[in-house]
Amino acid sequence: MERDNKNLRKILAKGPKYREPQSINWKYNFKILMNSVEDSAKKWTKQEKEEVGTLSEWVKAVRLLIRIRT
């Protein structure tokens, strides 16, 4: 109980605008990014009247770059 009070005091001492950092869900963010990349590739191929597989290598390259960064 005393330990909790010390932690609470440390947090309160930082001031009223202090916010504890939020954790980042990297898997969820990766999924959102890849869905956006795939949607963009589909829209581009449809607009240019190309086959969907035309940009598959580009999608794979983007996926690899994102995985390297995370």
The domain spans of the chain are 22-70
Amino acid at the residue 58: W
The answer to whether the predicted template modeling score (pTM) of the entire model surpasses 0.85 is no
Tokens 């969907």 appear where? Answer: 52
Whole-number pLDDT of residue 62: 94
**pLDDT tens track for 10-69:** 888 888 888 888 888 989 999 999 999 999 999 999 999 999 888 999 999 999 998 987
Cα gap 53→42, rounded to integer Å = 9
Distance set, CA 62 to CA 7, 22, 50 (Å): 43, 26, 20
